Amino acid sequence: MSSEAVRFEASEEFARRMDAEDPLRPFREEFLFPLHGDEPAIYLVGNSLGLQPRKARAYVLEALEDWEKLGVEGHFAGQRPWLPYHEMLTARTARLVGAHPIEVVVMNTLTVNLHLMMVSFYRPTRERSKLLVEAGAFPSDQYAVASQVRFHGQDPDRDIIRLAPRPGEETLRLEDILETIERHGREIALVMLGNVNYLTGQAFDMAAITRAAHKQGCRVGFDLAHGAGNLQLSLHDDGPDFAVWCSYKYLNGGPGTLGGVFVHERHAHTQELQRFEGWWGHDKQTRFQMGPDFVPTPGAEGWMLSNPPILQLAALRASMELFDRATMPALRRKSEKLTAWLEFLLDRLPPGFVRIITPRDPKQRGAQLSLRFSKEPRRLLEKLNAAGIHCDFRSPDVIRAAPAPLYNSFLDVYRFAGVLERHARD
């Protein structure tokens, strides 16, 4: 499939031709789809829970067999010893998010990691007490931020600056974000944004936001829940202080699986940073001496608390191998075409039926398009389900569709648009 602009056609023949030319097409066979009758369902909800990689079961069973046969010795022996198991994901994770291996670790879940990062990077003072967030951030982020502010004896109503779109607009403008940072920068301790908004699908310019915030002396963190495995990231070069993400959406690690953390290399050897400490973050050379004083492992691993759950790591490993083979640049190229193809088909629907609230600029979005319907959106969702098409709904009238390039096809998108068209003309 050429990286040049594609001249779209609204036909099944065109969809099949695009799929036949797709160099990533074989990856679809690496996943297990829910069935609709005897056929794979059309799964456009990888932005909520990714599909199961075929190898996940075998990798989990491998770990279970070692536990069965070796007991505690499985930490040091067996097919893949558990003690360094998480390290098998380090290099792949670094490539996935554009980081150095010392900057990343797979551990905990997203909100746990967000709290751990804010312990270190939200350090309010009398002069700098404020925290900048999106007004429309995912609720868990809003709860975490407010609780951290209260924990430090601050008032969320006073010390949280919430970015909202202009009246009558759905998404934030970059110039408004930068202007707010410039205007309030000397009061802000931490800028904490999602890099893709969960509801609108808007992606933010992390490099520009980080530069503006650092210029004002603020620390910067990002929630990559909808960015990791979706966008081509460059965390090291963009330079935020930290980032966190989950691995059950685009990364296909399984429900509630372990998340990831990025801590920029400039903090790798800074032992003076406040943090919550646990023995798995202790320097590996002396960890088992069981000494009373904590010495952090350099880099992101120094924030680990406990030995990680191996069965979850095993399932995630199956997907991370696929991302490493496919590469994020290739996935992103396909994703831009798939999303643009969906946009093209939606624009051909009857006027007034659907409005795309996700930005149309490919640089400001990933795979997800958020669709606001004027005609019975809940009934439409039922029709989609009845047709074997999985999307999700956000009250009161938004359906999110995310064609994930690892396993979705152009034919999936064409069939989805066909159900929408039939509903629009009913």
pLDDT in tens, 117-166: 999 999 999 999 999 999 999 999 999 999 999 999 999 999 999 999 99
Mean pLDDT taken over the chain: 96
pLDDT in tens, 175-213: 999 999 999 999 999 999 999 999 999 999 999 999 999
pLDDT in tens, 285-344: 999 999 999 999 999 999 999 999 999 999 999 999 999 999 999 999 999 999 999 999
Contact in structure between 231 and 339 (CB atoms under 8 Å): no
Burial of 35 (0-12, 13-18, 19+ CB in 10 A): exposed
Q: What does pTM read for this prediction?
A: 0.96
Nearest to 380 by CA among 392, 370, 368, 366: 392
Q: Where in the chain is the domain with CATH 3.90.1150.10?
A: 12-32+328-425
The fold of the 12-32+328-425 domain, in CATH, is Aspartate Aminotransferase, domain 1 (3.90.1150)
Q: Where in the chain is the domain with CATH 3.40.640.10?
A: 61-324
pLDDT-derived band at 425, boundaries 50, 70, 90: confident
- Diameter over CA atoms, the chain: 71
The fold of the 61-324 domain, in CATH, is Aspartate Aminotransferase; domain 2 (3.40.640)
User: Does the structure show a pLDDT above 50 at 243?
Assistant: yes
Burial of 227 (0-12, 13-18, 19+ CB in 10 A): buried
